[in-house]
Amino acid sequence: MASTASIYTRVAASRIRAHFQYRLSFVLQVIGSFFLSFLDFVAILVIFHHLPHLAGWSLGEVAFLYGSSAVMFKLSDILMTNMDRLPVFIRMGSFDQVLTRPLGTLGQVMTGDLDIRHVGSMTQGALVLWIGVNRVAIDWTPERVIVFVAMLIGALVIFCSLYVATNAVAFWTMDAREVANSFTYGGNFMTQFPMHIYGAWMRRIFAYVIPLGFVNYFPSLYLLGKTDPAGSPPILRFMSPAVALGLAFIAGSVWRSAVRHYRSTGS
Amino acid sequence: MRLWWEVARRGFRRYATYRWATVAGVFTNSVFGFIRAYVYIALFAGLGDRIGAWDLPDTLTYTFVSQGLLMPLYLWGWQEIAETVYSGQIASDLYRPFDYQLYWLSQDLGRATYHVLMRGIPPFIVGALFFELRVPTDPVTWLAFTVSFFLAVTVSFAMRFMVNLSAFWIINERGVHSIAAAAWTLLSGFTIPIAFFPDTARTIVRTLPFVAMFELPVDVFLEHVRGLEVLGTLAIQATWALVLLGAGRVMLGAGARKLVVQGG
């Protein structure tokens, strides 16, 4: 077990080193991605230029949502870099190589490439989160610190699980892959705003079934001392870790059954 | 003329082969449309007033029109010409007995026609099923919007053409592309209407060519411009299209002079 972990670590480290080879280009792209991701935040600033509260939430509170979602989504984006190439592996039959090695298929695909340049936009997310935290004045009791850390870890697990489950569709059909973007990039976009702004049916599907509400909205209600106008049960505020674990389990099962479905190109 | 028509038809057919990709894309464009729509509903609920000429139905209509225009305008990820620069293929493409820029423009207009029919109209219909959208009833508006749409595609093409040609000078065209894409996504009015920007920013952004891609066609669709103003809007778009295509030709000339073919 220990040796498997060390193999993954060494493979991952070599992939990261590969991105450092062209140092100037690497640095420029990290800086570029840091600044470019602020353009995304401009929309929120423009909205708050017109009103002090959006559906009862201040700019600081929305920045808290935006930052907590962005920093963990970008991290999942780094971990899942190689998912983009999955359809190519399947089409070319090179997924065969993955199956012949005595390591897990998912771990191999994930460590196949790690695009570390995204640390630029991840830093932007962290900065917005920091600004948000400073503007909302949270009373940092030990309970709140635990819920905060659990929220961030839960968000990462939920985003990674969504990446795995939706990209596994590539094993059945190549073309429908863009649907995955609705849940990954769409999930990131959706969790920048408080869940109660969305219509009832949409909230039911995306907050509970997909469970994006547990990425940041429900724990934030507790951390920021807000109430949900839609009247969700208070217990949900502490359910993020359990939901994240459950979703990870489902994503793992989807991945395994997808891999079993794989038939090589046979050339 | 007949040649360009044929090239455009091939551009149309080339993209028509991926049917499931189209369905998946419509789904994704619609999901993002819904998220954006609810953000604007919350904005107008808190505001209780219009922003400039825009009320909530205008803004929801804008949301689904802009989601529909996303693929036709192809702002993200078109690097076909840059790839031919890196492979050297462009050297033989430039030898062909027809105008290089017009060839790509024709094929892009064909592609955009396919995308507006299959990727543009469906998300709008999906949006109209769930939200109160404004659909113009005046046939003149539809005619003007059609012209405005093709001018927007031409402006978008002219910009993408130049970004691609930057590959003549820069090893990493991808970096230029991602900066350009982020800038024109915001400055065209796709991310949020330019009309919502603070006064000074709005005045500056409206003098830039990017608004010719989203903001101006949407103004025509929402009938925020009327009568002679419509002609004025189309004239602005046409001017930008010509200026940017001209700049692209200058760039192509400079790049081609620099081109060295390592024969083998």
Interface of A with B (CB under 8 A): 25, 28-29, 32-33, 36, 39-40, 42-43, 46-47, 49-51, 53-55, 173, 175-179, 181-182, 186, 189-190, 193, 197-199, 202
pLDDT at B261 over 90: no
Token pair of B263, please? 């024969």
Q: Which residues pair with A109 in a beta bridge?
A: none
Interface of B with A (CB under 8 A): 18-21, 23-25, 27-28, 31-32, 34-35, 38-39, 41-43, 45-47, 51, 130, 171-172, 175, 178-179, 182-183, 185-186, 191-192, 196-198
Instruction: Answer whether B42 sits within 8 Å of A173, measured CB to CB.
Output: no
Residue type, A181: N
Q: What's B210's DSSP letter?
A: G
pLDDT at A245 over 80: yes
Instruction: Answer whether A40 sits within 8 Å of B191, measured CB to CB.
Output: yes
Nearest CA to A192 among A12, A88, A37, A79?
A: A37
Q: How far is A182 from chain B (nearest CA, A)?
A: 5
pLDDT the model gives residue A265: 66
How many other CB atoms are there within 10 angstroms of residue A253's CB atom? 12
Q: What is B72-131 written as a DSSP string?
A: HHT-S---HHHHHHHHSHHHHHHHSSS-HHHHHHHHHHHHHHHHIIIIIHHHHHHHHHHS
Confidence of residue A240 (pLDDT cuts 50, 70, 90): very high
Confidence of residue B263 (pLDDT cuts 50, 70, 90): low
Cβ neighbours for B183, distance < 8 A, ≥ 6 positions apart: A39, B210
A33 chain-B contacts, CB cut-off 8 A: 178
Distance CA B49, CA B31 (A): 26
CA A153 to chain centroid, in Å, comes to: 10
Q: Residue A57 — φ and ψ, nearest 5°?
A: -110, 135
Which of B35, B71, B184 to probe by mutation at the A interface, max A CB count within 10 Å? B35
Confidence of residue B16 (pLDDT cuts 50, 70, 90): confident
The predicted-structure confidence for B193-205, as pLDDT tens digits, reads as follows: 999 999 999 999 9
Query: Could you tell me which chain B residue has the CA closest to the CA of A200?
Result: B38
Q: What's B213's DSSP letter?
A: T
Q: Residue A58 — φ and ψ, nearest 5°?
A: -80, 170
Range name among B22-26, B65-69, B123-127 with the lowest pLDDT average: B22-26
pLDDT at A98 over 90: no
Which residue pairs, CB below 8 angstroms and at least 24 apart, start in A237-242?
A: A237/A147, A238/A147, A239/A214, A240/A150, A240/A151, A240/A154, A240/A155, A240/A214, A240/A215, A241/A150, A241/A153, A241/A154
Instruction: Name the pTM for this structure.
Output: 0.91
Instruction: Answer whether A202 sits within 8 Å of B39, measured CB to CB.
Output: no
Instruction: Answer whether A178 sits within 8 Å of B21, measured CB to CB.
Output: yes
Q: What's B196's DSSP letter?
A: G
pLDDT the model gives residue A2: 63
A204 chain-B contacts, CB cut-off 8 A: none
Distance CA B144, CA B142 (A): 5
Q: Which residues pair with B54 in a beta bridge?
A: B51
**Residue A79 in contact with residue A160, Cβ under 8 Å?**
yes
Distance CA A154, CA B66 (A): 33
Q: How far is A31 from chain B (nearest CA, A)?
A: 11
Query: What was the ipTM of the complex prediction?
Result: 0.90
Query: Could you tell me which chain A residue has the CA closest to the CA of B32?
Result: A186
Task: Using alpha carbons only, give the angle B158, B164, B165 rounded to the nearest 5 degrees.
Answer: 90
Confidence of residue B252 (pLDDT cuts 50, 70, 90): very high
Of B23, B24, B175, the CB nearest to A32: B175
Q: Which residue has the higher pLDDT, A179 or A193?
A: A193
A25 chain-B contacts, CB cut-off 8 A: 171-172, 175
Token pair of A189, please? 């976009």
For B108-142, letters b (16+ CB in 10 Å) and e give: bbbbbbbbbebbbebbbebbeebbebbeeeeeebe
pLDDT the model gives residue B108: 95
B41 chain-A contacts, CB cut-off 8 A: 197
Q: How far is B211 from chain A (nearest CA, A)?
A: 16
**Residue A59 in contact with residue A48, Cβ under 8 Å?**
yes
B198 chain-A contacts, CB cut-off 8 A: 46, 49
Of B25, B179, B197, the CB nearest to A178: B25
**Residue B65 in contact with residue B144, Cβ under 8 Å?**
no
pLDDT the model gives residue B182: 86
Instruction: Answer whether A50 sits within 8 Å of B35, measured CB to CB.
Output: no
Q: How far is A147 from chain B (nearest CA, A)?
A: 27
Confidence of residue A106 (pLDDT cuts 50, 70, 90): confident
Q: What is chain A written as a DSSP string?
A: -HHHHHHHHHHHHHHHHHHTSSHHHHHHHHHHHHHHHHHHHHHHHHHHHH-SEETTEEHHHHHHHHHHHHHHHHHHHHHTGGGGGHHHHHHHTTHHHHHHSSS-HHHHHHHT---GGGHHHHHHHHHHHHHHHHHHT----HHHHHHHHHHHHHHHHHHHHHHHHHHGGGGT-SGGGHHHHHHTHHHHHHTTS-GGGS-HHHHIIIIIIS-GGGTTHHHHHHHHT---TT---GGGGG-HHHHHHHHHHHHHHHHHHHHHH------
Which residue pairs, CB below 8 angstroms and at least 24 apart, start in A94-97?
A: A95/A262, A95/A264, A96/A264
